[in-house]
């Protein structure tokens, strides 16, 4: 019914060390709020948290109040989670009267105008980052841009790729071969990645203010101030959430890196009538967006998973991707876990590891346009009604439909094989325990994050649930000691980030108009 890794098990067993080094990193977004769940409308605290432009681990996303915590890449899951917890603790200590909003969907906002766009200083790169966000605001509105999530960065070791290239008998250069491998993984993620919002989606409802001046396109049910779908998993991933209309027109199949880059190039150099109507300048002569193209920059492309190179902040992603190839992938389908004080828990990482390994091991034929339509439909079904009993989705390859429960359990059969090998290496049973727990979610959807949080929303309200959880999380973070970083080391990074920002600002040789023109015309 679906591909299986059964034939690859012997290969894994005979080469157990190839999965020993998996590199992981986490990016967690969260809004700063008061204890009453009101979004803080103050600037990012530069004095205590440092420069949001150059700090390695603490920055901002769309707005000054939307924090983003970034862990370094590491092979140890516990290290990564403890590091993320240390960041939370340090920031919480320096924002004594503020809280971290524990939900992906933002709290009620009295005035959209109170949301301050993120600022990054006077350097050209800092101004570009702010202008990009100004463009996002004008194109899609403020609400969409303060929806929060968790991104999971993942890559295999050189040892893995050496053996994978050998068994696949690929004759290209190593960087091209690795890119091909990651594209195989990405295609399979599009085929079966809906399992992530099914298991871990946690935004099944929104507050009624979210639809102000908008059509109720999904016929959401209403309970007091709550709008919801009874079987939904992640409205954040729907057209009500953090998405844009461009993605539906892209027809991205991820069949080759050159195709991906040419598609990006087309959309970054093709003007949009809708965005032309916004205009380039306001009444005071200030820029309103970087350009009027379908994509201002690469990051405006909102996809479930992104191919990424390792690049510096002043480099253009597409240029580096063409030069270095794909070096890791970024998973973008995780809602904030409302039941974790750091937005994600270990079992989620264990499951993601198993699934991503599975995605690279099974066959991954190229995606045609008809299959792409089928895959998009599957994601929409799971996002909007994934917990519905006996809900079926398409299996394009076999031209049939099966229930989410049936497909999910079949996937887990393979996950158990991989889990056993990983646990044997580490002399633990962590992966198998995670499988045993999470497979139950298919027989008992009431165990999923989405159903559990929906029950809280209906009983207490979304805003009230957010306040309860944020207060609970703050107390837990305050009680937890630093594990991997000390307060002193984190303070030193604050100081260093300020120095680094000043260096960037003093090194600028071009005015912003010249810089923008050079950036825009940099060849792919």
* 242 vs 211 pLDDT, higher one: 211
Q: Residue 3's pLDDT is what? A: 75
Residues with Cβ within 8 Å of 173's Cβ and at least 6 positions away in sequence, in order, are none
Flag whether pLDDT at 289 surpasses 80: yes
Q: Cα separations (Å) of 438 from 4, 326, 373?
A: 19, 30, 29
> First CA to last CA across the chain, in angstroms?
40
Cα separation, 333 vs 100, in Å, equals: 20
Q: Give the residue among 302, 280, 303, 314 at the shortest CA–CA distance from 134.
A: 280
Q: pLDDT averaged over the chain?
A: 93
Give the DSSP H or E segment for 520: helix 512-520
Q: What is the pLDDT of residues 372-385, one digit of tens each?
A: 999 999 999 999 99
Cα separation, 312 vs 165, in Å, equals: 28
% of the chain exceeding 90 in pLDDT: 80
Q: Cα separations (Å) of 131 from 143, 383, 408?
A: 17, 32, 43
Least confident of 28-42, 102-116, 152-166, 245-259: 245-259
Would you tell me how many other CB atoms lie within 10 Å of the CB of residue 4? Answer: 17
Residue with tokens 């253009």: 316
> Confidence class of residue 1 from pLDDT cuts 50, 70 and 90?
low
Global model pTM greater than 0.75: yes
Q: Are 22 and 426 in contact (CB under 8 A)?
A: no
The torsion of the CA quartet 189, 62, 314, 252, rounded to 10 degrees, works out to 30
Flag whether pLDDT at 245 surpasses 60: no
Q: What is the pLDDT of residues 344-363, one digit of tens each?
A: 999 999 999 999 999 999 99
Q: What is the mean pLDDT of residues 247-268?
A: 85
Q: Cα separations (Å) of 159 from 10, 156, 477?
A: 17, 8, 38
Flag whether pLDDT at 370 surpasses 70: yes
Q: What is the pLDDT of residues 418-477, one digit of tens each?
A: 999 999 988 999 999 999 999 999 999 999 999 999 999 999 999 999 999 999 999 999
Least confident of 1-10, 188-197, 469-478: 1-10
Encoding tokens for residue 25? 């990193």
> Confidence class of residue 173 from pLDDT cuts 50, 70 and 90?
confident
Flag whether pLDDT at 241 surpasses 90: no
Q: Residue 302's pLDDT is what? A: 87
Q: Are 237 and 333 in contact (CB under 8 A)?
A: yes
Flag whether pLDDT at 160 surpasses 80: yes
Q: Are 293 and 269 in contact (CB under 8 A)?
A: yes
């Amino acid at each position: 019914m679906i591909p299986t890794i059964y034939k690859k098990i012997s290969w894994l067993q005979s080469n157990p060390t190839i999965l020993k080094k998996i590199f992981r990193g986490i990016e967690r977004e969260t809004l700063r709020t008061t204890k009453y769940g009101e979004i803080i409308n103050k600037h990012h605290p530069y004095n205590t948290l440092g420069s949001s432009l150059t700090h390695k681990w603490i920055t901002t996303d769309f707005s000054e109040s939307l924090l983003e915590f970034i862990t370094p890449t590491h092979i140890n899951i516990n290290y990564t989670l403890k590091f993320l917890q240390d960041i939370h603790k340090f920031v919480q200590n320096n924002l004594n009267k503020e809280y971290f909003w524990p939900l992906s969907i933002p709290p009620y906002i009295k005035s959209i105008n109170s949301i301050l766009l993120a600022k990054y200083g006077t350097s050209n790169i800092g101004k570009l980052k702010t202008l990009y966000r100004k463009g996002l605001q004008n194109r899609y509105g403020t609400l969409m841009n303060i929806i929060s999530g968790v991104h999971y960065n993942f890559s295999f070791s050189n040892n893995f790729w050496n053996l994978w290239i050998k068994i696949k008998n690929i004759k290209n250069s190593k960087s091209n071969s690795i890119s091909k491998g990651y594209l195989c993984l990405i295609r399979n993620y599009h085929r079966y990645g809906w399992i992530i919002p099914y298991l871990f989606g946690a935004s099944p409802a929104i507050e009624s203010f979210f639809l102000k001046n908008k059509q109720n396109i999904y016929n959401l049910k209403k309970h007091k101030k709550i709008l919801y779908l009874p079987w939904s998993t992640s409205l954040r991933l729907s057209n009500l959430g953090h998405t844009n209309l461009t993605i539906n027109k892209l027809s991205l199949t991820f069949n080759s890196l050159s195709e991906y880059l040419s598609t990006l190039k087309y959309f970054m150099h093709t003007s949009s009538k809708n965005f032309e109507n916004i205009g380039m300048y306001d009444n005071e002569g200030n820029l309103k967006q970087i350009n009027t193209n379908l994509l201002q920059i690469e990051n405006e492309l909102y996809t479930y998973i992104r191919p990424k190179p390792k690049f510096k902040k002043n480099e253009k992603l597409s240029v580096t991707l063409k030069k270095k190839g794909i070096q890791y992938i970024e998973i973008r389908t995780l809602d904030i876990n409302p039941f974790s004080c750091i937005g994600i828990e270990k079992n989620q990482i264990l499951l993601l590891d198993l699934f991503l390994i599975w995605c690279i091991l099974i066959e991954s034929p190229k995606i045609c346009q008809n299959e792409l339509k089928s895959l998009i439909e599957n994601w929409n079904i799971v996002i909007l009604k994934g917990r519905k009993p006996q809900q079926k989705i398409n299996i394009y390859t076999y031209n049939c439909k099966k229930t989410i429960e049936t497909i999910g359990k079949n996937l887990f059969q393979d996950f158990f094989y991989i889990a056993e090998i990983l646990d044997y290496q580490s002399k633990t049973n962590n992966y198998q325990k995670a499988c045993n727990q999470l497979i139950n979610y298919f027989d008992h959807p009431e165990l999923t994050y989405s159903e559990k949080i929906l029950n809280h929303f209906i009983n207490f309200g979304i805003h009230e649930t957010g306040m309860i959880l944020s207060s609970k999380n703050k107390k837990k973070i305050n009680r937890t000691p630093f594990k991997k970083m000390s307060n002193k080391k984190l303070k030193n990074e604050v100081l260093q980030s300020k120095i680094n920002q000043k260096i960037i600002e003093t090194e600028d040789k071009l005015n912003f108009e010249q810089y923008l023109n050079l950036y825009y015309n940099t060849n792919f």
